[in-house]
Structure 1
């Protein structure tokens, strides 16, 4: 019998030095029955990039050395993250897993849209590149700060510290992403750097300014959102073939999706308002009760935030990090990360 799965797509900053070459390596390691299809999709993505006058995903992924100035350039990083995630999605063994819903973190919403077939390969490739250029060109900065303790339980003191900074810099500092046990804040550079200076050091490395990030999911992105809506009309959108849960926890169910509303959200509220990743996960598991959560690559950084979101609502009795870790030691873990070789083998076609 098939297992049901909620699939989650990663956001910005997940293609890093350890992931160099992972796209081509994963295709090479795929079973013969899907390898040709994966390569064909990658070729189509590369062709779109060539027409835009940009480096192809294959060129970037197969570079001999990882260069921050090259690979973390917004229009390159976005394409790598989207391509890696989309190809991972196509690699899921559908004889063993029934994908019942899709969600994503921040830029991962675009990958989720592609996986749900709300855009063609051509449109999704061009749109993720376009949005990366539009939003990265915006003002401001973004930083991250933990709001849970070492056991992944809410830390009231840290939560109060974050709230105090938001109140102190009202109108200049905003809640950008609710990311599991982390608050991601964004706003003007002055407000972000002032808040970072005032917040006490947590877990030895936070608060952390996210390099190359602007004031994503805040009102500072209003101009970028307006330009995006003009660039990508409703005609570019298609009815999703798999239910989607957005950054408000709202469900987009097939076949009743209002495409104009989806376009307005994706290129409007999703760009300029808080992305509640935690709520999207919590709604998804409540509404679809999946047997597993599958995390697409690149990387495996989503696992902690997903676990923390589940712990917050005590999903299936989870109360802390130890509970989640014990659950993950089972032969078939609840959360399966395609960025981890041993878990990828449980997910991909021909390797179960």
Structure 2
């Protein structure tokens, strides 16, 4: 009997030096039939990139050295993250798992849209690149700060400290992403720098400024949203073939999804308003009660935030980091990260 799965797509910053070559390696490790399918999809993505005059995903992934100036350039990082996630989605063994819903963090919403067939492969490849260029060109900055204790439980003191900084900089510092046990804040550079100086050091490395990030998911992205809505018409959108849970916890169900509303959310609200990743995860598990959560690559950074979102609602008896860690030691963990070889083997066809 198939197991049901909620699939979650990662956001910005998840293709880093350790992931160099991972797309090629995952394709090469696939069964012959799947390998052919994945290579065909990657070839199509590469062709779109080449037509745009940009490095192909293959060229970037197969580079001999990881170069921050090349691989972390917004339009290149976005393409690598999207391509890796999309190909991972196609690699899930559908004889074992029925994907009942999709969601993602921040830019992961675009990957989720592609996985749900809400865009053609051509559109998703070009749109991911276009949105990376539009939003990266915006003003402001973004930083992250923990709002949990060492056992991943909500910390009222840290939450109060964050809210005090938002209140101290009205209209200049805003909640960007609710990311599990972390608050991602964004706004003007001056407000972000002031808040970073004011917040006490936590866990030895926070608050952490996110390099190369603008004020994503805030009203400072309004120009990017306006241009995106003018560039990508409703006709580019198709009814999702798998239910989608967005950054408000709203569900887009097939075949009843309103395409105009989906366009406005994806290119408008999603760009300029807080992205509540925690709520998306919580709504998805409550409404679909999946047997497993599958995290797409690249990387495996989503695991902590997903666990913290689940702990916050006491999902399946999870109360802290220790209880989540104990659950993950089972032969078939509840959360399966495709960025971890041993868990990927439990998800991919022919590797169980």
TM range (shorter): over 0.9
- Any residues of structure 2 matched to 1:177-192 within 5 Å, and which? 177-192=177-192
- Any residues of structure 2 matched to 1:297-316 within 5 Å, and which? 297-316=297-316
Equivalent residue, structure 2, for 1:261: 261
- Distance in 2 separating the partners of 1:295 and 1:279: 16
Equivalent residue, structure 2, for 1:75: 75
- Distance in 1 separating the partners of 2:92 and 2:170: 44
Equivalent residue, structure 2, for 1:2: 2
Equivalent residue, structure 2, for 1:141: 141
Give the superposition deviation at 1:32.
Answer: 1.3
Equivalent residue, structure 2, for 1:241: 241
Give the superposition deviation at 1:31.
Answer: 1.1
- Distance in 2 separating the partners of 1:349 and 1:39: 16
- Any residues of structure 2 matched to 1:150-299 within 5 Å, and which? 150-299=150-299
Equivalent residue, structure 1, for 2:103: 103
Give the superposition deviation at 1:33.
Answer: 2.0
- Distance in 2 separating the partners of 1:325 and 1:45: 37
Q: Are 2:319 and 1:319 equivalent residues in the alignment?
A: yes
Equivalent residue, structure 1, for 2:84: 84
Give the superposition deviation at 1:350.
Answer: 1.1
1:58 match: secondary structure? helix
User: Normalization by structure 2: what TM-score?
Assistant: 1.00
Give the superposition deviation at 1:221.
Answer: 0.2
2:98 match: secondary structure? strand
- Distance in 1 separating the partners of 2:155 and 2:246: 26
C-alpha offsets along residues 245-288 of structure 1, whole Å, 9 cap, x if unaligned? 00000000011000000000000000000000000000000000
- Distance in 1 separating the partners of 2:239 and 2:351: 31
Equivalent residue, structure 2, for 1:39: 39
Equivalent residue, structure 2, for 1:113: 113
- Distance in 2 separating the partners of 1:270 and 1:41: 27
2:213 match: secondary structure? coil
Q: Which runs of 5+ in 2 are unaligned?
A: none
C-alpha offsets along residues 279-304 of structure 1, whole Å, 9 cap, x if unaligned? 00000000000000000000000000
Q: Kindly report structure 1 stretches of 4+ aligned residues shifted beyond 4 Å.
A: none
- Distance in 2 separating the partners of 1:68 and 1:85: 20
User: Normalization by structure 1: what TM-score?
Assistant: 1.00
- Distance in 1 separating the partners of 2:205 and 2:324: 24
- Distance in 1 separating the partners of 2:196 and 2:128: 29
1:65 match: secondary structure? coil
Give the superposition deviation at 1:53.
Answer: 0.2
* CA RMSD of superposed structures (Å): 0.3
Give the superposition deviation at 1:122.
Answer: 0.3
